[in-house]
Amino acid sequence: MNNHLFSYAQSSVEKVIFPLPVKVIMIDLDGTLLNTADDLALAANLMLRELGLPEKSSDTIQSYIGKGIERLVKRALTGQLDGEPDANLLNQALPIYQKHYAQNIHVNTKPYPGAVNGVENMRQAGFKLACITNKSEAFTLPLLKATGLFNQFEIVLSGDSLPRRKPDPMPLTHICSHFNVQPNEALLIGDSLNDAVAARAAGCHIICMPYGYNEGRDVRDLDCDSIVNSLEDVSKLIINSN
């Protein structure tokens, strides 16, 4: 085991010492558990093609991922992270995108290396597991079932499960209440600013993966307790306090 894993990490909340004693592990979907970028890009380009608009590279569309489908569609239409397309165009584009994504949701999507084993190891170690994502339930559940991961989680919270979603802390505090644990007994594993902000606001621990989307930004700039290369590596940083 690498000695550097067990060291102090500075966060906006407090200094933490590894291994972290936690009871609940919450895992983000897109960019953390599953590599969905190619299918999200495919649906976006099919939408643009149907609308008679220029298609974009997969890398460009990947930089648009991170704040839900509506924001991704807005970015694909405008080519800007904070762009706002014409309202009529957006209303036309959204159902077209949803149609194409539903038809192509599992063409190229697959778990990241180590993700399946990592989740299974956490379950076998007795951690309470939750999947927490901003993706709509209509897309989340089919993806988890298609990849064989659905039954690994005791609860799945999608972007439309509650009135608010990440970066709001509501989904995280809901999970903590569901398992009857304090926020500092829960860990969120994610890949984006949304995840880091939500975890800090909720008072939960946060570990980030470097291979995700994060809107094209460097994950090392995020306020997280640690960065690991695989979900399998998370077990080196935590201990079950159940």
pTM, entire model: 0.91
CB-based contact 213:223 (threshold 8 Å):
no
CB-based contact 66:194 (threshold 8 Å):
yes
The whole-angstrom separation of Cα 187 and Cα 147 is 23
The whole-angstrom separation of Cα 240 and Cα 105 is 34
What pLDDT does 8 receive?
Answer: 34
Catalytic residues: 28
CATH topology of domain 3-35+110-240: Rossmann fold (3.40.50)
CATH architecture of the domain formed by 37-103: Orthogonal Bundle (1.10)
Residue 15's alpha-carbon distances to 158, 226, 228, in angstroms, are: 31, 12, 18
Q: Which residues, at least 6 apart from 161, have a Cβ–Cβ distance to it below 8 Å? A: 137, 171
Beta carbons within 10 angstroms of residue 185's beta carbon: 20
What pLDDT does 7 receive?
Answer: 33
pLDDT tens for the chain, 242 residues long, are 333 333 334 344 457 799 999 999 999 999 999 999 999 999 999 999 999 999 999 999 999 998 889 999 999 999 999 999 999 999 999 999 999 999 999 999 999 999 999 999 999 999 999 999 999 999 999 999 999 999 999 999 999 999 999 999 999 999 999 999 999 999 999 999 999 999 999 999 999 999 999 888 899 999 999 999 999 999 999 999 98
Q: Considering only CA atoms, which of 195, 202, 184 is closest in space to residue 224?
A: 195
What pLDDT does 209 receive?
Answer: 97
Query: Using a CB cutoff of 8 Å and minimum separation of 24, what contacts does 164-169 make?
Result: 165/68, 165/134, 166/132, 166/134, 166/194, 166/195, 166/197, 166/198, 167/193, 167/194, 167/195, 167/197, 167/198, 167/201, 168/198, 168/201, 169/198, 169/199, 169/201, 169/202, 169/203
CB-based contact 186:172 (threshold 8 Å):
yes
What pLDDT does 4 receive?
Answer: 34
SS3 state of residue 61 = helix
What pLDDT does 67 receive?
Answer: 81
Which residue ranges make up each domain of the chain?
Answer: 3-35+110-240, 37-103
Q: Nearest 5°: phi and psi at 229?
A: -85, -15
Report the DSSP beta bridge partners of residue 27: 131, 189
80-101 burial: b if 16+ Cβ within 10 Å, else e: eeeeebeeeeeeebbebbbebb
What pLDDT does 215 receive?
Answer: 84
